[in-house]
Structure formats: C-alpha cells, structure tokens
Structure 1
Amino acid sequence: MSSLVQGLIKSLAMTVLSEVGDNTFFATVILAMRHPRRPVLLGCLASLSVMTVLSALVGWATPNLISHKWAHHITTLLFFVFGLWSFWDGIKDDGDDDEFAEVEAKLNAELNSDKGTTKKKSKDDDELKKQKRSFLSQFFSPIFLKAFSVTFFGEWGDKSQLATIGLAADENPFGVILGGIIGQALCTVAAVLGGKSLASRISEKIVALSGGVLFIVFGIQSFLSTVES
C-alpha cells in the first residue's frame, strides 16, 4: 500500500509541475476559449489519460526487458537529467509570453485552414462528407477529436511522458497511473475554467525551477534507496 501511495504522490506532484504552463496547457486554454468547454475538457482528459496509461505500461514493462537494478539506475539518472533540464528552462526564461503566442498562432493557422476548406464545400459535398464520416466522428464531436489529437501529439515525447515512463519503472505503476490522471485532470480543469487570465498569471520561470527542484529530490531519493538485484 505504501508503494502505491508513494507512486501516486510522486506522479501527482511531477505531473502538475510538468504540465502547468507547457504547450499543451496553453493549447487547452485556447481551445476552451473558442469552443464549448465540455468537449474540449473531455477530449483533453481522454487524451492525457490514454497517454499516462501507455507511458506507465512502457515503464512497467522495462524491468522485464532489463534487470530491475539497471532500470532503477536509469530512472535515477533520468530524474537528475530532467531536473537540470527544468533548471535550464527556468534560467533561460526571460519572462515573455512568447510561448502562449506561438501556440495561439499555430492553432490560428490550423483554424483558418479548416475554415478555408470548409467554405469551398457545397451542400452536396457536405452530405457526401457526412456519409463518409469516419467511425469515431459519428460518436464524438469534431471538437472532441480536435482536442484529443492536439493534446495527444503535443504530449508525445514530452518531458512529462518520459518522466512517467521512468517513474513507472521504479514505482508502483497503478499509483503512477492514478496520480498522473489526477494531476492531468487538475491541470486540464484549471486550463478550461481559468482561461487566458490564469495562463497570463502563470510564471513559467517559477514553475520550471520548482519542477527542477522536484526532479532533483526524486533523483536523490532514488539514489539513496536500495534496490534488489
């Protein structure tokens, strides 16, 4: 039980500090400003939950591919690397809101592209499109699918995903999944409900430095802990 709780707490803290103020968080804010909140919230939560489960499964399988001792050492090293990475992001941050503007510009370009192609469609084309609509889009709205895809591909290969893999390799994977999903839910709800006012108040520098401290603490704790061969 203690292993489950430890994995949950570590995953929850890591997820919150990794996700607040990153590109996915800003993208969720922008989508919620332009579309109904419910499908945006559900799409982002579904995507992040799937990503968390997949990452934890990869981490859980890692000790079966290599020895648990080596998996532990690699995870410890990753914690220190991510800690230094976060420190570097915090140090080089000059306090500008360029990241939010960049994410907004990318979504604007996609939105304008979608509108341009839509305007060229006639009513007959729309009917044909409905008939050929994919299986998923018959059950989920386009906004849900857009939020899901933007979030999923935005998180793929992200620092938080790699950290979740490393954490699940060294901690109880069920605790890691539960903590990750709770953390993702908290961040997503805050992004959807808080909107741009919340994003403008977030200090990316403080978040990055706090995340760096957390990863270093995890690394030290992992380094000092014993592991079976």
Structure 2
Amino acid sequence: MELLTAALVAFVAIVPVELPDKTFVATLVLSTRYRPLPVYLGVLAAFGVQCLIAVLAGTLVSQLPRQPVAFVAAALFAIGAVVLVRGARKGEEISEEQAQDEYAGKITDERPGWRAALTSFLILFTAEWGDLSQLLTAGLVASGRPAVPVFFGSWAGLALVSGLAILLGRWLLKRVKLSLVRYVGATVCLILAIITVIEAVTA
C-alpha cells in the first residue's frame, strides 16, 4: 500500500505542474511536425532518463541526516508552490503562437522514424533539465518516499501530459484555463510541503 501511495503522490504532484508547462507545448509542436508515435517514444525516453536522474539524486540526498533533508525537501515543495502561484497571478498562460514558434525554431527539417524520436528526445531532455517536475521528484525521494514507485508515478504523470499534448493539445490550450491548473499544482506542492514538515518534526 505504501508503494502505491508513493506512486500516486508522485503522479498527482507532476500532472498539474507539467500541464501548463513547456513540456506540453514542446510535445504539441513536435507532434505537428513529425509522426506522433516516434515523437511519443522519444519524449517518453527523455522523461524516463530525467526521472531516473531525479530519483538517483533524491536517493543520494536521502542518505544525509533525515530531518534536515526533510526540511530542504519541504522548502523545494514550497518554492514550487510559489513559482506556480506567481505564474498564475502574472497571467503567464501559454501563448500558443509564441510557444509554438519557440520550439518550431528548434526543428530544422522533416525527419521520419528514429530521427524524429531522437529529435524529440533531445528537445524534451534539454527543456526538462532542472525543471520543477524534476526537483519535485527528487524532493519526494529525498523526503523518504520509496524511489521506485516515485519514479514510475512521475514518469506516468509526464507520459499522460505528453500524451494529452499529442492527442488533444490544441483543444486543451484553447479551452482549459491554465492559470487554474497552476493554482491546483501550487496547492498540491503546498500540501506536500506541510506533510513533509510534519513528518520531519514527528520523526
């Protein structure tokens, strides 16, 4: 039950953080230029590597004294909440045209098959490096949650967001108020921060 809970927490934390993020837009742009399947495979591979790096980093940090690490993890979650709230208040909703132009400029030609997958991998790997979702994944492991289910929960959340971008990207950008999604993500991050502090104090 603990393993399932850890995976679910990671999944629920990642989805609202990444839905209004560059992950979504980058995947959408790639899927308009290349065939969806190789794009999705390349994106999934990039997310898998990113989640693995985050989990390994969190595991290393978790070897340090638990209480200070827990407070640092709580601070990461709190920072994530602040970042998301500021983005929502400033009205930093994804401008479809600007975001698509940004990533379209990184695609130089039409590449079929494995080249499309490789291009998708490289673009998403670069875009996600040091991203909020990676920090949250590391923070979940560092705060004492089991690494393997956190990995799969985070990866599943990213896979869902990228899948939605490919299947329903334009529709979602036009109809879903992404500032609201940011507020939901901020709430999740704040809850994680509070829980982590409580766990650290009572440990």
5+ residue gaps, structure 1, are 119-136
Q: Which amino acid aligns with 1:221?
A: I
Contact 2:58 2:139 in 1 (8 A): yes
Q: Which amino acid aligns with 1:104?
A: Q
CA RMSD of aligned residues (A): 2.1
Contact 1:89 1:205 in 2 (8 A): yes
Alpha carbons of structure 1 residues 61 and 227: separation in structure 2 relative to 1, 3 Å? farther
Pair 1:206-2:202 in alignment: no
Whole-angstrom CA distance in 1 between matches of 2:97 and 2:60: 39
Pair 1:174-2:145 in alignment: no
Match runs of 1:103-182 below 5 Å: 103-111=99-107, 114-115=108-109, 141-170=114-143, 171-182=145-156
Alpha carbons of structure 1 residues 109 and 178: separation in structure 2 relative to 1, 3 Å? closer
> 2:60 — aligned with what?
61
Match runs of 1:14-29 below 5 Å: 14-29=13-28
Contact 2:81 2:190 in 1 (8 A): yes
How far the C-alpha of 1:102 sits from its partner, in A, is: 2.5
Contact 2:7 2:151 in 1 (8 A): yes
TM-score of the aligned structures, taking structure 2 as reference length: 0.91
> 2:164 — aligned with what?
190
- 1:149-177 superposed Cα distances (whole Å, 9 cap, x missing partner): 11100000111111111111111111211
Alpha carbons of structure 1 residues 162 and 94: separation in structure 2 relative to 1, 3 Å? closer
- 1:46-72 superposed Cα distances (whole Å, 9 cap, x missing partner): 1111111110111011122x2122111
Contact 2:55 2:147 in 1 (8 A): yes
Q: Which amino acid aligns with 2:39?
A: V
Residue 225 of structure 1 aligns to a residue whose secondary structure is helix
How far the C-alpha of 1:227 sits from its partner, in A, is: 6.3
Alpha carbons of structure 1 residues 224 and 147: separation in structure 2 relative to 1, 3 Å? same
Contact 1:30 1:196 in 2 (8 A): no
- The correspondence for 2:81, drawn from 73, 83, 86, is 83
Contact 1:32 1:195 in 2 (8 A): no
Q: Percent identity?
A: 25
Contact 1:83 1:213 in 2 (8 A): yes
- 1:161-195 superposed Cα distances (whole Å, 9 cap, x missing partner): 11111111111111211111111111111111113
How far the C-alpha of 1:228 sits from its partner, in A, is: 8.2
Q: Which amino acid aligns with 1:180?
A: S
How many corresponding residue pairs? 201
Q: Which amino acid aligns with 1:166?
A: G
Residue 141 of structure 1 aligns to a residue whose secondary structure is helix
TM-score of the aligned structures, taking structure 1 as reference length: 0.81
Whole-angstrom CA distance in 1 between matches of 2:173 and 2:9: 24
Higher relative contact order, chain-length normalized (CA < 8 Å, sep 6+) = 1
5+ residue gaps, structure 2, are none
Residue 20 of structure 2 aligns to a residue whose secondary structure is coil
